[in-house]
Structure 1
Amino acid sequence: MNKRELIATIAESADLTKVAAARALDSVLAHMAKAMERGERVTLAGFGSFRVVERSEQKGRNPQTGGTIVIPAHNVVKFRPGKKLSGKFKVQ
């Protein structure tokens, strides 16, 4: 599902226009991003939580030259599914 499909689903299930659903979704995502930028964990009960963690500096390989490169430390967003969400998927 992409963003356009999600907006259409929200609009249909909440009886909103696609424009209103897009505005609502954009607002939610923007507020989630701002909270994570401040270092806060974003938890959606029953769905899961998002948090920012720092990845340390690593050694990598340039696929074009085969040479070793250093990947600098950087922040990444991690998602941990909630109990209700993770219980819906079978492990293969």
Structure 2
Amino acid sequence: MNKAELIKSVATGANVSQAVAGKMLTTLQEAIENALIHGDKVSVRGFGTFAISDHAARYYHHPQTGETKMARSYRTVRFVPSGEIKSRLN
């Protein structure tokens, strides 16, 4: 499902126009982004949790030259689905 299909599904489920559903989805996305940028985690009961995951710097070997290089540390978004979603999938 892509964003357009998600908007259409939300519009149908909430009985609103696709423009309003698109605005709702964009607002939700911005709210989650802002919370994560500020270091908060976002938990939606029955759906899951969005959180920031920090990855430390590490050494690796370049496959062509064989030299050892340093990979920078980085942050990424992690999503952990709720138990309800996990049980429905299995």
TM-score (norm 2): 0.87
Q: State the distance in 2 between where 1:62 and 1:13 align.
A: 51
Q: Partner amino acid for 1:6?
A: L
How many equivalent residue pairs?
89
* Corresponding residue SS for 1:85: helix
Residue number in structure 1 paired with 2:53: 53
- Provide Cα deviations, 1:15-36, integer angstroms capped at 9, x if missing partner: 1111110000000110010001
* Corresponding residue SS for 1:13: helix
Residue number in structure 2 paired with 1:73: 73
Unaligned runs of 5+ in 2: none
* Corresponding residue SS for 1:39: coil
TM-score (norm 1): 0.85
The ranges of structure 1 where at least 4 consecutive aligned residues each deviate by more than 4 angstroms after the TM superposition are 60-63, 65-69
Unaligned runs of 5+ in 1: none
RMSD: 1.7
Q: Give, in angstroms, the shift of residue 5 of structure 1.
A: 0.5
Residue number in structure 2 paired with 1:3: 3
Q: Please state which structure has a larger fraction of its residues in helix.
A: 2
